[in-house]
Amino acid sequence: MDYLKRGLRRTFASIKDHKILFGIVFLLQLLFLVSFLSVAIYYQVKLLEDASGIIEPLEKANYNAEMIQEGAPFTEDYLRVFNSYNSMVQNLKEFVIALLLLFFFVNGAIWMLSHWLLEEKIHWKQKPKKAFQFLLKMAASAAALLVPFLIPSYYLLSRFIRISGSFSKVVLVIEILLGAGAVLYYLFIVSLAAADIASWKRFARRWLDLSFRKIAKTAPALLLVALAFFLSSLLLYAAINYGRSFLLLAAAGIAEISVLVLTRIFFIACLQEIGHETDNH
């Protein structure tokens, strides 16, 4: 477990040596969380309004088969249902695009700067190239993982919904897909921890090595990160639900953001240490 100790030492040493950069990462993490919540709340309200525009006419619709056969309309508010449906589809697309842009650019910048914190010094002329290479590897990793997952998942889920007579079977399929999604997320964050490697061949080899062959070392680092995040989330939950002090809530929020920033740097540092051990053997 020496690599965990070295990773922890490098984490605090990097913050000591790059205080301004650490502050930028902290502010970006705050920006990401605030933006994510704002976008989620905004589009949740929009989607609920669209859903209401579909449900309300259907609740007042004519379900009498005899009246319909006689020529009475099912509903006189077809236009509202049609417009609400189109609005819902459009808002859902915008919601997904907004989240993807936030995740790729803001969260990508957070991971990239976390890598830079652990480096000795980067000449300003090299930064644009390194940033482009990092974001390109991030996009390639996401595409390599998501495309083979989303297409079969959509087909499998839609097929089960159509043919399955049991809701429990559909739930089982969703649980399996969520489990597969958790595995993909693990692979993705490991790829981000290795995305600072310039060579694509070395990056791919390191990514696979850390994800599978060295999983006995990668997993403890990830579990420590998950434990720290769980404890900070408990503190934030307690402050929201039981605390009556704004200062306590603010302190819990700052602690949550600090844990996110610190554990990310720690995770990257630990995986770099594992990679160095592998290179030296």
- pTM assigned to the model: 0.86
In this prediction, residue 125 has a pLDDT band, given cuts at 50, 70 and 90, of: confident
> How confident is residue 74, by pLDDT bands cut at 50, 70 and 90?
low
**Least confident among 58-67, 134-143, 206-215, 232-241:** 58-67
**Of 30-44, 65-79, 255-269, which range is least confident?**
65-79
CB contact at 8 A, 252 and 231: no
Tokens of 162: 């159509």
What value does the mean pLDDT take over residues 3-29?
95
The lowest-confidence range among 9-18, 25-34, 82-91, 217-226 is: 82-91
| pLDDT at residue 111 in the model | 96
Which residue bears the tokens 């949740």? 44
What long-range pairs does 214-223 form, CB within 8 A, spacing at least 24?
214/274, 214/278, 217/3, 217/274, 218/190, 218/271, 218/274, 220/1, 220/4, 221/3, 221/4, 221/7, 221/266, 221/267, 221/270, 221/271, 222/186, 222/189, 222/267
Q: What is the pLDDT of residue 172?
A: 77
pLDDT tens per residue, range 236-249: 998 888 867 888 88
Q: What distances in angstroms separate CA 47 from CA 91, 92, 99, 113, 127, one per listed residue?
A: 7, 7, 15, 35, 40
Please write the tens of the pLDDT for every residue from 142-157: 999 988 888 887 777 7
Distance CA 58, CA 48 (A): 15
User: Model confidence at 113, in pLDDT bands (50, 70, 90)?
Assistant: very high
173-177, 186-190, 194-198: which range is least confident on average? 173-177
For the ranges 8-12, 63-67, 196-200, 270-274, the lowest mean pLDDT is seen at: 63-67
The yes-or-no verdict on residue 70 having pLDDT over 80 is no
Evaluate if residue 81 carries a pLDDT over 80.
Answer: no
User: In terms of Cα–Cα distance, which of 260, 263, 255 is closest to 236?
Assistant: 255
How far is it, in rounded angstroms, from Cα 53 to Cα 184? 36
Give the per-residue pLDDT at 50: 87
Q: What is the 3-state secondary structure (H, E, C) of 130-180?
A: HHHHHHHHHHHHHHHHHHHHHHHHHHHHHHHHHHCCCHHHHHHHHHHHHHH
Q: Long-range contacts for 178-186 (Cβ within 8 Å, ≥24 apart)? A: 180/149, 180/153, 181/149, 184/145, 184/146, 184/149, 186/211, 186/222
Range in 36-45, 66-75, 141-150 with the lowest mean pLDDT: 66-75
Look at residue 78 and tell me whether its pLDDT is greater than 90.
no
Give the pLDDT score at 27: 97
pLDDT for residue 14:
93
Instruction: Quote the DSSP letter at residue 209.
Output: I
The whole-chain average pLDDT of the chain stands at 87
The C-alpha angle 275, 276, 279, rounded to 5 degrees, equals 90
